[in-house]
């Protein structure tokens, strides 16, 4: 197998500074609520993950020294909350999102919260993935056609130590295929899987 699965315990220790995390999550929930009530058109591919679980899991990964470095990338960052939680946990974090309006909201939210996360508009799929049409055949909720954002970021996918994503049900294999082809050996992919919780793999 080209990766190892890392088991995440059911109960993980809460972060040391819970008030900073609570502020991010409360503020983000309010903004997302405002947006969903007032947006002229809904972005169907956007649903958000469990932010509390994401904060706890990032903290647990760092506390257990599971990473080869501190670079974090969120694939399809929506309102950018996981990226901001990673920054608050001490990581150098960026989010990539295809929808310009969501990039704008995430930049605004980070500004309001004075969090130093960076957000980029474009695709998280590197331009040179092999057989992209074949591996994306059954994928409905990821935009395949747009240019990737890595050049603008100034980093390759292989520069990141932890990638986070919330794939739609049935689309996790696609995310893993991209990760396994393009990430560095030793890098980790954390995916939120709804009722199944978090899933963590490391590329071997």
Ligand X SMILES: C[S@@+](CC[C@H](N)C(=O)[O-])C[C@H]1O[C@@H](n2cnc3c(N)ncnc32)[C@H](O)[C@@H]1O
Residues that bind ligand X in the complex, under the rule CB under 6 A: 43, 45-49, 74, 76-78, 81-82, 96-99, 102, 123-125, 142-143, 166
Considering beta carbons, is residue 15 or 76 the nearer one to ligand X?
A: 76
143: nearest Cα among 197, 96, 106:
96
CA angle 22, 36, 104 (to 5 degrees): 75
β-sheet bridge partners, residue 116: none
135: nearest Cα among 93, 96, 171, 85:
171
Considering beta carbons, is residue 36 or 65 the nearer one to ligand X?
A: 36
Alpha-carbon distance of 185 to 152, in angstroms, equals: 23
Residue 78 Cβ, how far from ligand X at the closest point, in Å? 3
Residue 106 Cβ, how far from ligand X at the closest point, in Å? 9
46: CB partners within 8 A, 6+ apart:
78, 99, 102
Which residue, judged by CB position, is nearest to ligand X in the bound state? 76
Residue 117 Cβ, how far from ligand X at the closest point, in Å? 13
Considering beta carbons, is residue 47 or 204 the nearer one to ligand X?
A: 47
Residue 137 Cβ, how far from ligand X at the closest point, in Å? 15
Considering beta carbons, is residue 27 or 48 the nearer one to ligand X?
A: 48
């Amino acid at each position: 197998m080209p990766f190892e699965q890392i088991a995440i315990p059911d109960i993980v220790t809460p972060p040391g500074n819970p008030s900073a995390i609570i502020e991010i999550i409360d503020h983000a929930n309010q903004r997302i609520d405002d947006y969903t009530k007032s947006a002229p058109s809904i972005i169907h591919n956007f649903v958000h993950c469990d932010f509390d679980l994401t904060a706890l899991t990032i903290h647990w990964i760092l506390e257990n020294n599971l990473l080869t470095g501190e670079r974090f990338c969120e694939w399809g960052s929506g309102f950018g909350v996981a990226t901001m939680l990673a920054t608050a946990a001490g990581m150098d974090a960026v989010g990539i999102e295809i929808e310009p309006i969501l990039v704008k909201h995430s930049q605004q939210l980070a500004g309001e919260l004075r969090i130093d996360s960076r957000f980029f508009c474009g695709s998280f799929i590197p331009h040179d993935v092999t057989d992209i049409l074949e591996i994306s055949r059954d994928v409905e909720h990821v935009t395949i056609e747009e240019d990737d954002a890595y050049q603008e970021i100034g980093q390759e996918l292989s520069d990141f130590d932890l990638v986070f994503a919330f794939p739609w049900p049935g689309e996790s294999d696609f995310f893993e295929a991209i990760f396994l082809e393009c990430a560095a050996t030793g890098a980790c992919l954390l995916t939120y899987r709804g009722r199944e919780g978090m899933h963590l793999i490391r590329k071997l």
